[in-house]
Chain A
Amino acid sequence: MTPSRSILGICLLAGGLTGSQQTVFRGGTQGVLVDVSVRDGKRSVSGLRPEDFRLLDDSVPQTIVDLTTEVIPLDVTVLIDVSESARLLFGDTLIQAGNRARGLFGPNDHIEVRDFGAQIVDATTWNGESLGSWATGSLFGDRGTALFDALAIAVMRPPAVGFRRLVIVVTDGRDTASFVNHQTLLAIVKRADAVVDVVAAAVVAVGSHSQLATDTPTNLPRPAETLVTVHDYANPLKKVTDLAGGYFFDLNENSRSLEALGVTVAEFRSRYLLKYVPSGVGSRGWHTITISVPGHGYQVVARKGYVR
């Protein structure tokens, strides 16, 4: 039987840690590892012990057999939305955000940068001046935004052995060109090992749904002044970060979101890494994980489950 991807990835991660750093996990027991962020307001909570956590696997209490806060290098993908809509609506804001996100990582981290409009381009060697899609953009030059495709590709890539996987997306939130639909993206995120953080600028649509859905011919486009801000458009991305144990930062609501992202990345390096060996639960399929720190009002963020 082929072991599930999550379990396998976890074992490889553990093996990598065992080989390249100090031994973190006992024995060769197969288990589940979960990255966990614990906050008290904006402050990270440190010093917690395994017995401080309550962990449920499909509502069945589990015993945490190991906990570490050891700093682990990151395997990061930064996705930067360079679609025409993002460029027109936000100028260089998203590019600068992407560049600053890239600057959050150190020499021990592995980092790749991809820009995406309809195309998805490896921009790891990008010098911050010329992004492919923007250089050629025109009304015909960029057939939309393949946000879900770009996310799916990034999330499916397994982490380098001994690294924690993090995907950061800087986007205006619109998707008009992906072949991967939202349901498939969510299924991929559920199964993947990556934590996903999203930095979104105001998510904007032009025109109204009712007009778009009707078949009434009109000869001229609506004027640009009919821009409509629709915050609900962030929901699909929030569902991604929620499932993947990441955070959603809205540049529109808080111009200091980039600083918040920096704090989150720093915290991500030293998140609690909990290990447990599932017991009393089914062997196949999706397992919902619920983690809390009883007796405190802490905010606990972790992925919502795994596939076995």
Chain B
Amino acid sequence: MIKPWLLVSLAAVTVLTAPGAVSTARVAIATELAQSPAAEPLFGDYANGHFAEVAVELANVRDFSAFETDVERVLRNARPEAEELAAAFALEAAHAAYSTRPRRVGDITRLTTAARRLLEVGCTIVRRKPASSEFAHRWMLASLSLMEGDSYPVDLLGVSAFDKHLDHLKGRADPGVLALARGVNREQKVGRLVAEWAVQDIDRPLSPHELERAQATLRSATDALTAARTYSNVTAEAVVRLGFLSTVQQQLMMTQGHADRPGRAVQELRTVDSMTADPVLRYLGHLFLGRADELSGDPRSARDEYRRAVSATPGRSGYLALAALDFLAGSESESDPSPELASLQTRAADPWLEYFAGSYRNWPQLLEDMRKALR
């Protein structure tokens, strides 16, 4: 059913798009509105500041491949004064595509392809704008967040347009944020590797060829995050992520039959509380320190770290790690099972589950900041 505000917004579109584009657009709109929202009226309403309502309508889009084509056509004709709106609208449409529940495996490809094209439509517009503008800055932060969130859910599909987007923003986006995003991008490949190990016969050592590839993937992520670490606005997160990579390296070496002490990154991670007040980063930092201590055969220190983690954020993984330590030490009893185990019944939120999605955890705030920059 067509919302009244959609009809009203058709008038606004005539102001926002170049002469000549409207008449042909209306024909397409009439056809497509019968099935799902059309781009032009939605864009018009977006221009009127109905952000939340448009987001709801975007969630009703059924065929994002067709919708993406429609959006591209509409935004191509956007007038110069409406370009920021067009870029923001494209980004929100991209988010809607990513947020759509795929019905079949093949939908994942269609949805992610449409989302990435929509994002690129917005990016093309933003690249024409001065990089120093507040809107461009906010758009780039939000778009990086989206790309970081994009790659992991479709993890085993492999690659994404993330690299390309990073290249597009080089020299334009905040260098620290961009460097961290590149590190997250590389680290996602490590995440996929770890997931692969989890489902394969991981008790066997890797072959020399597999080991070389794994080491190369780890090195690539480490190099990128080491570069990010030098930017003060992202140092803490880069240190946390380098700490994680160090634990993966430790595990890798143990799989190969070599005991491996935690690297320097883990030592630096021990100062995480002095580096940041962010409860998510503190949680993750102590979680990884606990893992490093466990791998080093020091369950007492591991327990201390896991306790610090859950005191920062009461995440499931931290409590589960504590419960497992108690269980394996035989220190719990049948009549009084680990309190951590009991608490797992209800706890659900866990930053670890969002770890590989990087700054996507901040998407709601970044989106709001971008919308404010439009006003």
Contacts and interface: CB of A to CB of B under 8 A. Distances in A.
Interface of A: 2, 4-5, 8-9, 12, 84, 88-89, 118-122, 137-144, 146, 148-149, 152-153, 156-158, 161, 173-184, 187-188, 191-192, 203, 205-207, 209-224, 227, 230, 232-233, 235-236, 239, 307
B153 A142 contact: yes
B193 A149 contact: no
A207 B201 contact: no
Contacts of B200: 209, 230, 232-233, 235-236
Contacts, number: 216
B353 interface: yes
A227 B105 CA distance: 9
B251 A209 contact: no
Given A143-B152, A187-B328, A209-B196, A236 B201 contact: yes
A139 B153 contact: yes
Question: Looking at chain B's contact residues, is the secondary structure mostly helix, strand, loop, or mixed?
Answer: helix
A218 B353 CA distance: 25
A221 B101 contact: no
11 contacts: A8-B334, A139-B108, A139-B154, A143-B354, A144-B153, A144-B195, A178-B198, A212-B156, A218-B159, A220-B161, A221-B160
A188 B323 CA distance: 10
Contacts of A152: 320, 324
Nearest to B330: A5
A269 B109 CA distance: 47
A207 B198 contact: no
A239 B199 CA distance: 12
Interface string B82-123: 000000000000000011111011101101110010000000
Interface of B: 98-102, 104-106, 108-109, 111-113, 116, 149-150, 152-161, 163-164, 186, 189, 192-193, 195-203, 210, 213-214, 216-217, 220, 251, 287, 316-317, 320-321, 323-324, 327-328, 330-335, 337-338, 341, 344-345, 348, 352-354, 356-357, 360
A224 B99 contact: no
Contacts of A8: 333-334
B320 A143 contact: no
B199 A173 contact: yes
Contacts of A212: 156, 158, 189, 192-193, 196
B153 A143 contact: yes
A181 B139 CA distance: 38
Contacts of B152: 143-144
A224 B109 contact: yes
Given A152-B320, A153-B320, A213-B189, A9 B111 contact: no
A171 to B, nearest CB: 11
A191 B327 CA distance: 8
A188 B324 contact: yes
B240 to A, nearest CB: 15
Nearest to A237: B199
Contacts of A143: 152-153, 353-354, 356-357
A5 B199 contact: no
A158 B342 CA distance: 11
Contacts of A156: 323-324, 327, 337-338, 341
A240 to B, nearest CB: 12
A12 B164 CA distance: 61
**In the A-B complex, the 9 residue pairs with the closest CB atoms:** A179-B317, A217-B163, A221-B157, A218-B159, A213-B213, A206-B156, A235-B201, A176-B195, A138-B101
Q: Which of B156, B214, B330 has the most CB of A within 10 A?
A: B156
A206 B102 contact: no
B332 to A, nearest CB: 7
A138 B99 contact: yes
A192 B337 CA distance: 13
B161 A219 contact: yes
